[in-house]
Amino acid sequence: MAAGNVSEDRVRTSAYFQFREPAAALRERMPPSLSFLAGKLSDRRPGKFIPRSPTATAEVEVTPGELEDALTWGRTTDAKGRTLMKSAFIEDHYGREDLDGQKLVELAKPIRVEAPPVRNLETAYRLTWECSRCDRVRARQVGDLDVDFEAALDVPGFRHHPELLFTPGRELLVARKWQPLLKAHRVATRPLLGTTNYVQLVVPEAVLLQAERPPLVPGDRCPGCGEMTIDRIELIEGDPPAIDSTGLRVTREQPLTIVPPEADLPALSMSTRPIDDLVDIHPRPEHRVGEGVPADRAKELLDRRGWNVAFISEPLLASLWDEGATGLEYRPVVRDR
């Protein structure tokens, strides 16, 4: 297997740390080796989802050595047996020179950036049952999306990624000004309701994921259609989130493994199977394949459908780079030989 010529020395890494104590208390006990972190600490004030007393967070770009020093210190426990650091979200940022030799890369959604919601999912898609024994559905888009861009103005990071966006369901949106460039790469678009500033990208499902290679983990297989759920596990240390957790939880996204395509892929493509889908499997047939899904279940099933991974070709990525497009986050892929 090979992930292309990716230089780990050049890749930028950012980390978002959450602590259990306020910034002032942490600075008093922080060793000199973490001076790069001390100035980045800030307190989160109590709120609906925040503890009653202030707790510190920090977002900082780190070297591999600095990251290890911070995590080692963060594992230190207090008198109650709790680690000083509650969680760490680690994100690697690749530049053009880092992906030399990669013909296809994953087009990624930044960890700390949420996307504008879609108001009309239930009417924009027509759902039909794909299997009689599970709740998998085929979603065919029949209308233009009504995207709530105003809601995104309050989302951290939105203003820094204005030209290429994912919706919560991972539909791809792009600034309208890039339409001529996309057309040159044979990428189709469709309009959005209520705005001419953005368009939706029409992306075919063409990339086969190697579902049994980390970070993907195969789940239950449906006895009806034979499909199985696929989860992307990015937790590399600790346990899943819990209110009574006392340890450190470290999350870092890892490259996916794909099956090498037999033919050239489109400039933009999606995986043929969704990941992180929440599909119920029934002990006996409950649906008629091809029949429409009841309207009162459409939103629930759309929210549970998971999402397909997006991939972008090197020629299109290079063109967007050259023209200065913003909002591009990407990571290498591993080709299964």
Residue 3 has pLDDT above 70, yes or no: no
pLDDT one-digit tens code per residue, 90-113 = 988 888 777 777 889 999 876 656
What average pLDDT does the segment 286-310 reach? 92
Q: Burial code of 69-95, b = ≥16 C-beta within 10 A, e = fewer?
A: bbbebbeeeeeeebbbbbbbbbbbebe
pLDDT class of 183 with cuts at 50, 70, 90:
very high
Residue 34 has pLDDT above 60, yes or no: yes
Share of the chain above pLDDT 90, in %: 57
How confident is the model at residue 238, as a pLDDT?
87
Residue 48 has pLDDT above 80, yes or no: no
What average pLDDT does the segment 296-316 reach? 90
CB atoms within 10 A of CB 318: 12
Residue 71 has pLDDT above 70, yes or no: yes
How confident is the model at residue 292, as a pLDDT?
95
How confident is the model at residue 108, as a pLDDT?
85
Residue 1 has pLDDT above 50, yes or no: no
pLDDT class of 164 with cuts at 50, 70, 90:
confident
List Cβ neighbours of 205 (8 Å cut-off, separation of 6 or more): 269, 270, 271, 272, 308
The segment(s) of the chain belonging to CATH 3.30.70 are 12-96
What average pLDDT does the segment 58-72 reach? 95
Residue 321 has pLDDT above 90, yes or no: no
What average pLDDT does the segment 192-196 reach? 90
Residue 157 has pLDDT above 50, yes or no: no
Give me the count of residues in the chain. 337
How confident is the model at residue 158, as a pLDDT?
47
How confident is the model at residue 156, as a pLDDT?
45
Distances (CA, A) of 119 to 7, 151, 166, 171: 41, 11, 14, 13
Residue among 331, 335, 334 at smallest CA distance from 92? 331
What average pLDDT does the segment 25-30 reach? 93
What average pLDDT does the segment 260-289 reach? 91
Q: What CATH fold (topology level) applies to the domain 12-96?
A: Alpha-Beta Plaits (3.30.70)
How confident is the model at residue 281, as a pLDDT?
95
How confident is the model at residue 2, as a pLDDT?
40
pLDDT class of 170 with cuts at 50, 70, 90:
confident
